[in-house]
Every structure is written in structure tokens, then in C-alpha cells.
Chains A and B, each alone.
Chain A
């Protein structure tokens, strides 16, 4: 068993919140270790909708949340431009949306400091011709879309530059409590199984929907209300602007253009276990029916896959109403820092729950403020002012950049590993250099490999080849076995998310690809190598 003593603080969970907390602590001079059981962003952060909220969605019900969103929206555009696409957002009133909500919308925005401008319907339709021509009013707000993985990477890079560290594939499996203090935490390496004992002065749980499991390790009760949300990914953007329905939030009422695709979401359904949930065909059909109110032709557009994430919803036990137990939308989207010293008598432990990706930095600031007060650290928070590493001021993400970059090199399929998403060999090498020992699925998150219409059909074997080649150079003996396992695991994962939606062209594509892998390459003969790991999750549909 390894020992790691040098850390002031242990952060549990490598989603946006954990990464933000890590960065904030590091910048205030606390040597911190972040641990994540899988790859960074493999929790809710990697399975969310992709929307940089303007706050417009919350103005009517939750002005505080709206204010927080717009403030953080402005900050993120400044400190993390490369992770953000400035799509702008439209809130559109369809014929089904009640007038009183629409009429009060602009005033509510102004009251919450959210920029909002009404524009003529014809102008909106000219810019976004796929929109329902029957829409009655359109408001323009500063929504955008956010790339979560890059954002996490930037936060971690900044923390590293300030002397802290982050370990992926390290699961927190237990903590030792001595009276009113946690004295040690036990980590398990999820690949090798080896254990490491760390002895931080403080533990912060940023485990989102899993926060209850972490607290339970020291006999503290944190009752989460994990809320599953399902989203649908369409093959190409039918809109370059985020489109929201201007009404009281419900299912399937936001379309977010993210990279090459457009994502319709979401739903809200309580689940018991954040690791066990399914997406059903009925759910998909219902989402499309709702989405058709925004884009009448949606039912005919090509659907790539469905995926779901679990919201880390929390409400203090005393406030949980019967209504909230039934409908998660009743639960606040604001965040809460739980001080387990005051609440449960564990002095060096806090949990941060709730919130949104848009407000992750603010959530981190509030958490770290509390922790610093306890540790007697007086350094102020600087995360809102310092631009993140690997980011160029004012240079937001542009969809065309991969095509433009590749074209500058002469273009063509020959240089592409993933033809759908324009992933080149140098891009993959760069990623693998920075993430040694990662899986094809990690490469997907990091580079978008296999996220296009063929869903990995034509790039998986090429990427597996790259993995094997690099492993060979690094002296790994059985590279063939490694490549086989990589291919199988990845194909399983990719096809899982398409099961509830496979129809039309997407189904044809799948038949063709299974033809290639099973008929042509004889992949089924690899089944004996299959690891239990590959078949563990029930759905785990990811994008």
C-alpha cells in the first residue's frame, strides 16, 4: 500500500465542481489532491446538456439562480473562451406557450440583470429557418454552449501550475474517522487494484449525485435526490443558436448546438441509484414530440444517440415536500455547501451539492471560502479574474475550426483517423501524451473520436491501431490483445447509446458497421477476451 502525506486537502470527484474547487484551493496556496474514480468528467459533467445558461430559464421562478448564472456566464466567457461557443440564445414563444409567462418574461430578465432583447420573428426565422414558423415572439439572450472536458482540463492544469495534483481512475473507498476528524482516506487504483492511503487535513466531497455514498463512509447522512435527465443528439445542427421555449420549464424544451451536433433535452425523473438507469423508447418518442414544437421537422432528422445524466439535486431534509419527491423540477437548482462540522460533528469535512455547470466556479468559490475560514487561510479568491491556461483571451470556440485547420494542411480523408469529427493523428498523439494509459472511450471524450454519424464504425480500428503501436513502442508485450479489448469495449459503449433510437439511416449505418466488424473482421471471435468491466453498466449512455 502506498502512502501520500503531503496534501492539505483531498477533493473527491473530478467533475466541473471538483476541478473548480481544486483550482481555487491551489491558487490560495493549499496543496491539494483531487481524486476521480474514472476519467475526469465521466460523471454528470460529461453527460449534461452543454448549455451555458444566460439565466433566462430561471428568471420567473428562481431569480437568485438566474443572477448567479448571468454573472458566471460573463466570467466564463472571459476566463475560458476556448471552451465556450458564443451561439447566443433565443427564447421563443410557440403557439402552445401561455401568454402571461411570455408577457412577463422580459421584465423578469431585466429584474435579474439578464440581458434580454425582443427581436422580430422574421429575423429569427431568417437566421434559423428550421424553427417553427408559427412562433409568436422571440427574445434574444446571451446563452452559449460549453465544452466540459476542456474546461476541466484547463482548471486542473492551472491547479498543477500552482503545486497541486489530480489523479484519475482513483476511487475513494473508505475514510478513517477519529472522533470529530477524518484522519485518513483510502484510494483504490481502478486499473491495477493497488491501494493508497492519504492523510489530508481536510476533505471536500464534490461527488455530485454520489455525495451520499462519500458521506456514508464517515457515518454522515447526505440525502441526494438524483434526477435523471435524458437528451437526444442529432447528427447535425438544425440551429446555430441555442433555442429555449419561453415557458415554465418542462421536458424537451431546449435545443443546444454543441460542436457538430445539436442536443435536445431534457427530462426529469427521480432515480434511486445514480449508476443504474435506463433510457426507453417511449421517453425518446416523447422528447421528439416536445421538440417538434420548436422544430416541426425534428422527427425526420437523423438521431445519433440518446444519453442521460443524473442531476446532483439536494434539498435539506426538512424542506423536502411531497411534490418535490414526485417532480424534481420543484427542487432548487441553487447549490448548498454542507458544513459537516456544524451539522454532523465532523470538523474537517464539507460537501458541495446541487448547482449547475454554468455556476461551477462560483460553487467552488463558496466552498473554498468556507474551508479557508476553517483552516485560517486568508488568501482571497482569484479564479474569476485569472484567465485559464491554454486559453486565448476573446477567442471563443468556432465550429469550423477543425475543418479550417485540416484544410490548411491540404484536407482529405487520408490524414483523418475519425472522418466524421475530423480527428487527426497528431491530435490523438497529443491527447495520448497527456493521458497515458487511457481507454478509447477516454479518447472519445478528449477528442470527439467516434462521436459522428458512424459512431466509431470507421475510426475505432484505426484508433486501436494507434494505441497498439504506441504500446508496442513502450514495450508492452501483448499489443494485439490490448487492441482487441479496446475495440470491443468501445463498440459496446457506442452501440449502447443508440439502442433506444436506432431507426432509419442510423440503423442502416449500424447494420453496415456490424457487417464490417462481425462479417468482415470477425470481431465476435474476440468475445472470450471480454472483461467484466465492459458489460458492467446497465446503460451508461454517454455522448
Chain B
């Protein structure tokens, strides 16, 4: 196998070797949103391909006689937010962000993770407990003295954005609904999709899931919600690979049979879908066929809707929404390499003046901006975006990724929603006006 093939295959090895491709042009440094705002982070070229040549034992923990493991050479790489912009910008194809993530994992492997990093990785556990005690947990997270204590004890910044826990999980609501409805035959892959809700829709933002289910139904697709766990990204970005691999395997075991039957797997979180599409293989080095089959079947919801539209199958009976809508494309969306499908969908809504804020990253980068020492960096990274949104005076904004939405809302005071919530609103306006449906369903005469 050649290096080129390996890189396409994107194993951990290949990520490391891709530093061979660096010609030191510094393009990555110019796009890095973190290096731009802080001297604490030396930038992608330095922590990536440059430092890589000094790292021993790529495939296993460092084995240096007489040197304790803690003497890992990496320190500053921890300030990489993992936004992935460097990788997408590098003209030579160096997998910089991936390399950084792996180095962080190696830096932390063998040490016990900080309680905070571990906790931020455990979105499942935190979500379950939070939902169980939702009135109390929501009160606690909004309580300033408690947040101050959290900052000093576990290092989560007191101002960091936190969502509200839902009263129950999507999984449990969905199961009940299914029970009420009784068992109906599951439609085939042409009439149904598999929904990967991820943590946020499960524990915090069921309304996003509801919007997705309704829009998909309008366009002729039933939703299947299998049992699933966190995609594992929060664990990956906190450098806790072993647990992340366990999550990945659980999900692959559930999703692969669907993918093999031809079902598409749709997600409403760009970060979850990117994890499934790319990082199970690139970061976690999972090379079972399952990983490839599932990756190829996975779609971001806007990507999927736009694809329907391109086939002439999208219901475009949107009602009029007369408003300015600042839109932030999350950095993870850029790593999908699918353009900005939300913007193209917005263009189908009469009256809607959506504007791409054209800013690389809001600074939260998953859980990065929540950490005490990184919160100011995250705020500085996102500052131009926040200023633009505030200056627009728009009543609400849109963004595809949950943590970004929370960050933007917190920083600007502007309500921020998922693009499909906006689209659903536009459908509802049409319904209220008794508008006729166009698209496939109309054609079928329903």
C-alpha cells in the first residue's frame, strides 16, 4: 500500500506520516483561528508537522528508556481547538488537525484524565443524570455561586455556555410514541431514514429532533431511531481514545446493518456526522468494513435535503419569512467538504435574507471554549463573529452545530437555531396560509 493510499484510508499511521508532505509554506498558520488570538498556541505548522518529527513510538506509547512517560514532549498542542481548518487549507495534504488530536491523546494516554476533561467527554452520562434531575441541574447550571465553584474545582469556566437539560430524553419519548402507535412495518430504505440524534438532541434540544422528523416526513421519509450512544467526539477531543473507540464500536454495530440494507443515516449535528464520516477511521483507526459502510451512508441533514432538491424531490412549498438571518457555518461543517447546504436551502425560502457571516470559528470548538483556561481564547476567536451578529440587529441567527449555537447565544444574546428549525417555520407559515404543496408529495396527489 502506498502512503497516498494509506492517507486516503486515513489510519493513525498515515496521519503521522502525512507530515512528510509539509513544505513549510505557513498557509495553515494563516488560517488557524486560535493562533491568531493567543501566543499560548504556536500554531498548526509548529505543533503539527514540525513537532511530529520529534515524537517517537508513533504506534504505541512513548518508550524511552529512563524517561518517565510524563515527559511527553507535547504541551502547547493542547491549545489546538480541533476545528480542522488547517487540514482543509493545507495545500500539501498534511493531516494537521488529526495529528494534533493524536498527539494530545498520546500526551494524555497513561495519565488519568483530568476530572473535567473526562466529564466533558461523558456527554452520555452527564446528559442522563442531568435529564433525570433536570429541574435541579438546570437551576444549578444557572446559579452563579455554583458556577464559580465549578470553575475552581473542575475548571469549567463560569461564563461558559451550558444548554438546559430536557425533561426526558429523545430516546424515551420516542419509545413511548412508538409503543402508543403499536408495531407497524418499517418501510424500506427508499421510504425511511435512520436518525443519528447525538447527545444534544437526546438530552437538551429535542425540538431539533422534532423539526428533523417532521421535515423528513413532509418529504416522504419515516424516521427510524435505533438505540445509540454518543458519537465519541467529546472523548476524542479530550484525548480519551480508548473510551471513544468503545462508543464508536457500539454505534457501528447498530448502524452497519442498516447501512448495508441501503438506509441512509442522517444527523442534525455536523460534529457527530463528521465524527462518523471521518474520525472513526482517521482518529480512532477503526478499519473494519463497518466503519466505511457507515461512513458512506452518513449525511448531514441539510446536505440530504439539498440532495433531494437537486433531484427535484424536495417539497419547496416554503412560506414567506421576511427577516434578516445571520448564519454561521461551523468549522466542522467545513471539514465535511459539502459547501454550505443550509445557505442554499435558505435561498429557497421567499423573503428570507440569510447572510453567511463568513467567520471561521465561533471559538467553542466542542468543549474547548468551556474550559477555564481556554474560555478567553474561545471568546477572542469568536469575537468578530459576535460583533457582526450583534451589528446585524437580526432577531435570530442560525447555525448547524449545537455547541456553536450555545456559544453564539451566550455571547450575543441572539437566539440561535438550527437551519431546519427555520425551514420548518417556513413550512408552517405556508400551512397557515393554506398554501399548496409543491414537490413529490403534491405530484403523488396526496
Q: Footprint of B on A, CB under 8 Å?
A: 86, 126-130, 235-238, 240, 260-261, 296-297, 299-302, 394-396, 398-404, 407-408, 410-414, 419-420, 422, 452-454, 457-458, 505, 508-509, 512
B54 and A399 form a contact (CB under 8 A)? yes
Set A301, A422, A458, A509: member contacting B54, Cβ < 8 A: A422
| B46 engages A509 (CB within 8 Å) | no
Contacts of A399 in B (CB 8 A): 54-56, 64
Q: Looking across the interface, which residue of chain A has its beta carbon closest to that of B24?
A: A454
B60 and A126 contact, CB distance less than 8 A = yes
What are 5 residue pairs bridging A and B, where the CB atoms are less than 8 Å apart in the complex? A301-B3, A395-B66, A396-B66, A411-B75, A454-B23
B184 on interface, CB distance cutoff 8 Å = no
- List 9 tightest A-B contacts by C-beta distance, closest first: A412-B42, A403-B73, A400-B73, A403-B54, A300-B3, A302-B20, A260-B53, A411-B76, A404-B73
A458 contacts which of B13, B17, B24 (Cβ < 8 Å)?
B24
41-63 of chain B: CB within 8 A of chain A: 42-43, 45-47, 50-60, 62-63
Residues of B within 8 A of A (CB): 1-4, 6, 13, 17, 19-25, 39, 42-43, 45-47, 50-60, 62-67, 71-76, 92
Select one of B25, B52, B67 contacting A398, CB under 8 A. B67
Selected contact of B42 from candidates A126, A394, A413, A505, CB within 8 Å: A413
* Nearest CB of chain A from residue B1's CB, rounded to whole Å: 7
On chain A, the residues within 8 Å of B19 by CB distance are 236
Residues of A near B66 (CB, < 8 A) are: 394-396
CB closest chain-B residue, reference A420: B50
Residues on A with beta carbons closer than 8 Å to the beta carbon of B73: 400-401, 403-404, 407
A453 to B50, CA, bound (A): 9
Assess whether A404 is in contact with B71, with CB atoms less than 8 Å apart: yes
Q: In whole Å, how far is B239's beta carbon from the nearest beta carbon of chain A?
A: 16
Contact residues in A for B57 (Cβ distance below 8 Å): 127, 240
CA–CA, A299 and B1, complex, Å? 11
Q: Which of B20, B52, B76 touches A407 (beta carbons < 8 Å)?
A: B76
- Whole-angstrom CA separation of A125 from B94 in the bound complex: 25
Interface centre among A237, A414, A512 (most CB of B within 10 A): A237
Q: Which residues of B contact A419 (CB under 8 A)?
A: 24, 45-46, 50
**Chain A residue, CB-CB nearest to B40:** A410
Given the complex of chains A and B, what is the CA–CA distance between A395 and B66 in angstroms? 7
Main secondary structure of the interface of B (DSSP, over half): loop
Given A236-B53, A396-B65, the answer on whether A509 and B4 have CB atoms closer than 8 Å is: no
Q: Is the CB of A297 within 8 A of B1?
A: yes
Find out whether the CB atom of A512 lies under 8 angstroms from the CB atom of B23: yes
Q: Is the CB of A403 within 8 A of B74?
A: yes
**CB neighbours of B47 from chain A (8 A):** 411
- Taking CB atoms, residues of chain A closer than 8 Å to B23 are 453-454, 505, 508-509, 512
With both beta carbons as reference points, the residue of chain A lying nearest to B39 in the complex is identified as A412
- B56 and A240 form a contact (CB under 8 A): yes
With A400-B71, A411-B46, A413-B42: A505-B54 Cβ-Cβ less than 8 Å: no
Complex alpha-carbon distance, A508 and B92, angstroms: 10
Quick one: which of B63, B65, B92 has the most chain A CB within 10 A?
Answer: B65
Asked whether A400 lies within 8 Å of B50 as measured between CB atoms, the reply is: no
- Are B53 and A420 touching (Cβ within 8 A)? yes
Which chain A residue has the least Cβ–Cβ distance from B35?
A: A412
Distance in angstroms between the alpha carbons of A512 and B65 in the assembled complex: 40
State how many angstroms separate the Cβ of A465 from the closest Cβ of chain B.
19
* B36 CB to nearest chain A CB (Å): 14
How many Å lie between the Cα of A458 and that of B46 in the bound state?
A: 14
Asked if residues A400 and B64 are in contact (CB atoms below 8 Å), the reply is yes
- Give min CB distance, A511 to chain B, whole Å: 9
CA distance A130 to B58 in the complex (A): 10
Which residues of the other chain, B, contact A127 by a CB distance below 8 angstroms? 57, 59-60
Measured in the bound complex, the distance between the Cα atoms of B54 and A394 in whole Å is 21
Q: How far does the alpha carbon of A412 sit from the alpha carbon of B32 in the complex, in Å?
A: 14
